[in-house]
Amino acid sequence: DAKTTQPTSMDCAEGRAANLPCNHSTISGNEYVYWYRQIHSQGPQYIIHGLKNNETNEMASLIITEDRKSSTLILPHATLRDTAVYYCIVRGLGGSQGNLIFGKGTKLSVKP
């Protein structure tokens, strides 16, 4: 079972920041938080990941709370092409923990 809880759906206005929350209250100290998105039926696309510190790349920012029990993915200026299902995944190290366990994700709809 997925170790994360995400809202089923969210709306965001085009050009505004999209903030997608994720709860992972049972995360272990050596587990990473990964974010992927899937546009329609395309292959999941890697967005960002982090362990403890906040992370930023060209696509998004990841804010992880100090207790690591929750995180927020921020798309700073959402566009219509960001409409997708966003998956927050807690990933362990090595062996069978290395694979990704996908939950149902958050369906983000960016509206004009």
Residues that bind another protein (CB under 8 A): 32, 34, 36, 41-46, 49, 87, 91, 93-96, 98-104
- Cα separation of 100 and 66, whole Å? 24
Q: Is-contact 111 14, C-beta < 8 A?
A: yes
Identity of the residue, 13 or 81, whose beta carbon is nearer to another protein in the bound complex: 81
Report CA 81 to chain centroid distance, whole Å.
Answer: 16
Give the residue with the Cβ less far from another protein, 42 or 67. Answer: 42
Rounded least distance, CB 101 to another protein, Å:
7
Closer Cβ to another protein, 67 or 96, answer by number? 96
Q: Cβ–Cβ contacts within 10 Å for residue 28, how many? A: 12
